[in-house]
Amino acid sequence: MTLRRASCGCGQLGLTCEGDPVRASLCHCLACQQRTGSAFGVQARFRREQLSSIEGRESTWVRVGDGGGAITFHFCPACGSTVYWDIPGMPEFVAVAVGAFADPGFPAPTVSIYEDRQHPWTKTLAGADIEHLD
């Protein structure tokens, strides 16, 4: 089974996932743009039982999403990198920031959401089989 290690920028907070994500997605919502400092966020969704370990100190921040659910973000108190978050209404899953894996071979996103907030200068992944959700 494939083990995937994700960590914050300084390496203090990390987690290990077993196997492939259930899905990977691009999010163009304004909150993800602010959280990442980029034009979109990229997440990998794993079943909670796929997490074999979480190590290091973490801080949390709760944000209420557009749908009204509370999203708890887990980030490093030293460098500020968001590593993972809880998905409202889906306690059996955890979302992990794809960039935290620092792995160019990580599976490509297959879902794109909040495209009405997508920056016009970004393009959907060329040749990717993306499901566009509204």
The pTM for the full model equals 0.89
pLDDT digits (tens, 9 = 90+) for 48-78: 999 999 999 999 999 987 677 889 999 999 9
3-state secondary structure of 132: strand
Q: Which residues touch 60 (CB under 8 Å, ≥6 apart)?
A: 72, 73, 74, 75
Confidence of residue 82 (pLDDT cuts 50, 70, 90): very high
Reported as half-sphere exposure (CB side, CA atoms, 13 A), residue 5 has a value of 8
Give 113's strand partners. 27, 133
Domains of the chain: 3-119 (2.170.150.70)
Of the two residues 13 and 2, the one the predictor is more confident about is 13
Distance (Å, whole) CA 90 – CA 8: 24
Give yes or no for a contact between 25 and 45, defined as CB atoms under 8 angstroms apart. yes
Calculate mean pLDDT across residues 35-56: 94
Please report the pLDDT score of residue 88 as a whole number: 86
Q: Nearest-CA neighbor of 82 among 100, 94, 102?
A: 100
Token pair for residue 39?
A: 């034009």
Calculate mean pLDDT across residues 83-95: 94
